[in-house]
Every structure is written in structure tokens, then in C-alpha cells.
Structure 1
Amino acid sequence: MSEYKLISQKKPAFPVTKKLGNYLKRHNRTIKIPIFYDDLLRFQGSVAVYDKHDNDTLWIRVFYNEFERAEIDLYLKKVYNILHSNGSDASIKHLNVDAIDFCTFGNSKPFRIKIRNILNDNYTYFYVKKTDASRIYGLELEDILSPYNLNFLVYEDTLIEEHISGIPGDVFINDYLDDCLDIEKAQLAKEFVKFNERCMIRLLGDMRSYNYVVVPTHDFENVVYKIRPIDFDQQCYEGKFKVYYPQFFKENLKLVQLVGDKLTSESIEQYQIEERSIVAKRILGSRSRLNRLLSAMKSDNISTPKNIEQLKSEIFEFTGDINFRDSDGMGEVLDSALTFVRRNYEDVSMKTIIQQQQRLH
């Protein structure tokens, strides 16, 4: 269960290629924005941000000189309207920028913007980051293959990304998990199995507990939990196949133990099959868009030759599918993985149909 040496070095950011840029334009992911990531770096001072337990969150609240702050606030409110509305300036007078926070931890070094509606005190967040092709591929794959939609924009070297609401995984594990009812723990175990399978299938790595959120939803008398990734930097980069399994990170050990305590091996296999089938249906339902994205990824360079060789070798050893061994680049490795899932789903579905027809006759 250890993460020791699973991730050996920091992942570099990769530029957006012309082909990926054309894909983003086609799917309305690009629009001119009035402020860039580098503009936000001109802050004059900062203070540390602490959580309710007085622990350092690794975020700092940044401050700008008076003249620049007025301009930055206006532009950030415009970006909010572009991201969440029709881009009109009509509602800007009702918006306030409550905070601009900066995180120096991790790869993306994001700015987190807190926007409040002064009419009702409702607030939301969005993030301003440097563009990274890996992250963009990850965001798009999440939008296509997961149960959730994602809203983001790319303009030149700046990425605007909506906030994904939920309880950070590490906070949930430390502060909430032990107080869950047995039925809730069993449901969490099921969801972790599905989340684990989903990340592995689409090769989303580094799902340590602070890189996903747990989302509770009240359903009649019960609380239903879902798990959503919030960090997509490690899309198709690392060479170790285990990196793409959340179960192998020590931060997730409590959830792994929960699976062992609450689920039988038959149940685990059932949930894995369910998740593979759901992903396969999404692949079939979004084939044209997914093929365009994979085409851009196949012509892109988003990893190192060493990582590519290691990953395709390890997945070939795991599956026995020669398409992995013959893959050239991370785009082809991912294409082979999605084809493998889709083909198995179609083979089983066809076999089931034939068996049903035989029983009818």
C-alpha cells in the first residue's frame, strides 16, 4: 500500500499544441479573457491561510496595491461571468472578489478566487492556472468518461477552471470517516472500488487523498457518498502502472481497509465490472468527440520515452493485449486501454444477447 517511489519526480508542464488548440476551439473551450495567470503574480504581500483547526493549508492570501487591485477585481468578475454566465457585464455590480489565494504546493501553483454575490451572500470559487496539456487532457477525459461535467476555459497560457465542491479526501478520512454509520461505510467502500477502477481505466494518476473530494448527497434517510478527482496534472504521465490505482497510496489506506472490511471479493469484482461497463457505454456514446481528443493526444508529447516504455510494458504484462506493447506514445496507450474496455464490454454484451436468443428458441 505504500507510495514509496511511486512518483519519483515532479511532472513538467506541457504546452498546448495546435491540434489540441483546434480541438478546444471546436468544443467551445477557448474564449478571450481579460486577465492572465502572470498578472496575478504581481502581488505585493501575503499572509498564510489556516483551517478551522489552525493548521496551515499551504495556501497564502495575496494582496495587491490599491490601483492594481481595483483593475484585477474587475477583470476577475468578468472572468467569472464568462465561465458561469453569458459574459455580460450586467451583473458585475452584484459581485465582489472576497479573496485571492495562491498555492505554492504541487505542480499547478493555482490562484483560487472567491467570488461572492452581495445580494444574497452566496459565494463560489474558480481557479486560475498556467496551461498544461496533461491537465487539459485530464479535464476533458473527466468530462467525457466520468459521471460529472466540468467547466473550464483556455486562453493562450492561462487556464480557468471551475471549483469542484466536496470534502477534501484527507479531511474526510481524518475528521468524518470514523463517525459514519456502517451502511455509509459500506457505501463508501463500494464508491472507492468504483473510483479506483475509473482512474485506472483512463490512466489518471496520483489520486492521493488531497487530490480528490468526497461528495455527500442526502437521499431519503441515507447519505450517499461519491468520490471526484480534483487534480488532473497526472494524466498519462507516469510509467508505473500502480500510480493509476488510488489503492496503492498510503494516504488512502483507511479506505482500502474499509473495502476489505465491508466488501467480499465477489462484491468487489461486481462493482469493478459495473464501472467498466459504465465507462464503456460513455466511450460508445461519445465516440466522435473522444476520437478527436485521442487524435490530438496521439500526436502530442506528454510524457518521457522511459515512462511510455515502462507503462506499456506493465499494462501488456497485466492484460496480455499486444496493442499495449505496440503502442507509440501515451495517447496510443490510453487509446488501447479504452479500446480494451470497450471491446470486452461489447463481447460480453453480444454473448449475452446470443444466449438470450437461444433460450427464447
Structure 2
Amino acid sequence: MTNEKQQLKKESFPINKPLRDYLDTYKRLTKTNVFYEDLLRFQGAISVFDKEGKDTLWVRVYYNEYERAEIDKNLKKIYTLLHSDGNESSFAFLNVDQIDFCTFGNSKPFRIKVRNILNDNYTHFYIKKADASRIYGLELEHILSPNRINYLVFKDTLIEEHIVGIPGDVFIEKNLKECTEHEKAQIAKQFVKFNERCMIGLLGDMRSYNFVIIPIYDFDQLVFKIRAIDFDQQSYEGSFKLYKPHLFKENFQYNQLVQNKLSQSSIEQYQNEERSVLVKRLRDSKVRIHDLLVAMKSTPLAPKEHIEQLGKEIYNYTLDLNFKKATSMGEIVEAALNFMKRNFRFEGDD
């Protein structure tokens, strides 16, 4: 799995003016004194191992003493901006316990652990080099999915809230065998819906280590949700297959749950439910999704050959000429959302 992760590299796309204007309009821009490049000036690092002694491929970094005090102060400021109003009155109760650096993947993030010293509760957030692809993925997730996304951008630095959950590959290895048959059926249902959201929103590379399973206690039962945690491959790949999580070999056991626990009619029912809910979200966010697509269509997000290949493949799937005519990934996403709106309309819709 390590080699596969390291191979999944793509070009990082800068934030252009239309995207920055969009982020400003919807209060995603902030001001901070810590840039991603500042955190790269660490003086030393040690490998981080999990509870079983396996290398996590993260390293814990250290800074010169005179730099660390300033870095800690600015990281606390970022924490308050992300989770409240930026007020510095809480700084005395916060401690930056750890700064870890990820050595694989596209975004090479820093993971910051901030602890409240009054009660020992802690929270993580991430600092990354901003990439337009990822930002569009975050925004589409925020608008189209049942999940809200908390992030901020400062110039070319991206700050993201940690998404809590059990990584999908870890869940398969350690948790799935403990699930009841009813719980497995619930996971199968959620995987069908998750697959549908990724395919419609063109979120690629949703292998098991790029999403999390979230167990939730509800009265006398345990229910599950599935959330994406990696948005680097938003609207980039040319093959339509790479936007369908059920086709990845890493997700084989989730797909097996679907095949074993759900009838074809149930699968179609859950697909239709997710499409219908997605159209309702589009209806409730008309202005925002319009503004996002305007910015997205102005941003180069993939090589020309990827755009042409994807447009043709989705045209063959839908017979909608708008996909074939698309000249940007933004136009393909717009065509996908318009296709959904035409085919899943509600009384009272325009």
C-alpha cells in the first residue's frame, strides 16, 4: 500500500483570482503568521510508530527553541480561528503537543495536535500547501454531501480541520469482523451512497485508506457513516472508473458486503435516494454552487487528454452531449450536476 500511495502523484494547481474571490465571498480566507513553508524549516525529526510498532510514515518534527515559541503562538491562533472567533484569551489554556509531517502523498501535510491543559481534551488540524483541486473537492463535499467541511486558506497555505473516524482499511482489518449482520448491511447501504456521491461529484481515488468509517450510537443500535478524507484527486483523472470506489481492489470487502447484503432493487433504491437528496442540496445552494462552478471552469485542473477522455466516457454512460462538448473539468462537473437536476426534479423546482 505504501508504494501505491507514493505513486499517486499529480500536479498541484495554484489558486487563481476567481477561486480566491470565491473563497473571500464565502469566508474561507483568513490571516495568519504561519505559512506552510515556515513549518518546513524543522531542525530534526523522528519516525512515528503506531501502538503495534508499525511505521506510520509520519515523522515528528522539532524546531530551534527561539523559533518554536513563535510557531506555537501562531498555531494556537490558527486553532482559535478554525474553531471559534480567533480570540487569544484562551491561549494560556492551550498547548501544542506535537507537530508531525507526512512523508507520502500529494499534499505532504503537517498534523498539529493542540491540547486543552484544563481537561486534557485534544484536537488535530492540518496545514498543507494549498492546491486548487483539493479546495474544489472540499467545497463540493461541503455543498453536495451530508457533511460540513471546516477549512481556511491564507495565501498559498491550506488549514483543514481533522475529520474523525476509523480509516477504511483499518476498519476492514480490525473492526469489520466484530460487526453484526445488521451492521454489515448498514455499512453496505452507506457504501452504495458514498459511491454515488463520489461518482457524481467526480471525487477520485477513494480507496479504503482515503475515507473513514464513523460509528454512531443511536438508541439501541450502532449506525455507520462513510466520509471522504482525501480530496487531492478531485476532477483530475481521465478514466471514469477511477471515480467509482466500488471498483478499487482496496475496497473489495466493502463491495462484497453490498453484493452479499443488498438485493439489486435495494441498491437501486439507495442510489436513487442519494441522487434525490443531492438534488435537494443543489436546490438549497443554487447561488453558492453557481459561484463555485464559475471559478472551477476558469481553473485548469487536469491535462487536456484527461478532460477529453472523461467527457467521452461519461457521454457513453449518459448519452448527454454536454459531457462530450466539455472543455474543462469544471464544465464536466457542471454537466453532471445539471444531468442530475434534469432527471431528479421535485414539485416546485424551477
TM-score by length of structure 1 reads 0.94
Distance 2:279 2:45 in 1: 47
Tell me which residue corresponds to 1:242.
Answer: 241
The alpha carbon displacement at 1:9 in A equals: 5.7
The alpha carbon displacement at 1:145 in A equals: 0.7
1:77 alignment partner AA: K
Query: Does the 8 A contact of 2:8 with 2:106 survive in 1?
Result: no
Distance 2:7 2:68 in 1: 39
Task: Calculate percent identity across the aligned residue pairs.
Answer: 60
Once the two structures are superposed, residues 273-322 of structure 1 have per-residue CA deviations (whole angstroms, 9 ceiling, x without a partner) of 00001111111110110000000011110110010000000000011111
The alpha carbon displacement at 1:228 in A equals: 0.2
- CA 1:16–1:39 in structure 2 vs 1: closer, same or farther (change >3 Å)? same
For structure 1, list consecutive stretches of 5 or more residues without a partner in the other structure.
Answer: 354-361
Tell me which residue corresponds to 1:200.
Answer: 199
Aligned residues: 345
Query: Does the 8 A contact of 2:206 with 2:245 survive in 1?
Result: yes
| 1:99-248 pair list within 5 angstroms | 99-248=98-247
Tell me which residue corresponds to 2:300.
Answer: 301
- Secondary structure, aligned partner of 1:29: coil
- Secondary structure, aligned partner of 1:135: helix
Tell me which residue corresponds to 2:89.
Answer: 90
RMSD: 1.5
Tell me which residue corresponds to 2:63.
Answer: 64
Distance 2:109 2:56 in 1: 14
Distance 1:114 1:37 in 2: 16
Distance 2:342 2:282 in 1: 11
Moved more, 253-262 or 49-58: 49-58
Tell me which residue corresponds to 2:275.
Answer: 276
2:303 alignment partner AA: T
2:18 alignment partner AA: K
Distance 1:224 1:298 in 2: 38
The alpha carbon displacement at 1:66 in A equals: 1.1
- CA 1:52–1:180 in structure 2 vs 1: closer, same or farther (change >3 Å)? same
Distance 1:213 1:9 in 2: 19
The alpha carbon displacement at 1:87 in A equals: 0.6
Q: Does 1:313 align with 2:330?
A: no
Tell me which residue corresponds to 1:358.
Answer: none
- CA 1:9–1:98 in structure 2 vs 1: closer, same or farther (change >3 Å)? closer
The alpha carbon displacement at 1:215 in A equals: 0.5
For structure 2, list consecutive stretches of 5 or more residues without a partner in the other structure.
Answer: none
- Secondary structure, aligned partner of 2:60: strand
- Secondary structure, aligned partner of 2:59: strand
- Secondary structure, aligned partner of 2:216: strand
Q: Does 1:251 align with 2:214?
A: no
Query: Does the 8 A contact of 2:8 with 2:105 survive in 1?
Result: no
Distance 1:12 1:209 in 2: 23
Q: Does 1:36 align with 2:35?
A: yes
Tell me which residue corresponds to 1:339.
Answer: 338
1:258 alignment partner AA: L
Distance 1:248 1:33 in 2: 41
Distance 2:284 2:74 in 1: 38
1:201 alignment partner AA: I
2:90 alignment partner AA: S
Query: Does the 8 A contact of 2:166 with 2:213 survive in 1?
Result: yes
Distance 1:177 1:302 in 2: 36
Once the two structures are superposed, residues 232-262 of structure 1 have per-residue CA deviations (whole angstroms, 9 ceiling, x without a partner) of 0111000000110111111111111111110
Tell me which residue corresponds to 1:11.
Answer: 10
Distance 1:179 1:118 in 2: 35
- CA 1:109–1:8 in structure 2 vs 1: closer, same or farther (change >3 Å)? closer
Distance 1:60 1:10 in 2: 20
- CA 1:9–1:101 in structure 2 vs 1: closer, same or farther (change >3 Å)? closer
1:84 alignment partner AA: H
The alpha carbon displacement at 1:8 in A equals: 8.0
The alpha carbon displacement at 1:52 in A equals: 1.3
The alpha carbon displacement at 1:53 in A equals: 1.4
- CA 1:166–1:312 in structure 2 vs 1: closer, same or farther (change >3 Å)? same
Structure 1 stretches (4+) deviating beyond 2 angstroms? none
Distance 2:190 2:284 in 1: 23
TM-score by length of structure 2 reads 0.96
The alpha carbon displacement at 1:205 in A equals: 0.3
Tell me which residue corresponds to 1:265.
Answer: 264
Once the two structures are superposed, residues 333-361 of structure 1 have per-residue CA deviations (whole angstroms, 9 ceiling, x without a partner) of 00000000111001xx46x99xxxxxxxx
Q: Does 1:53 align with 2:47?
A: no
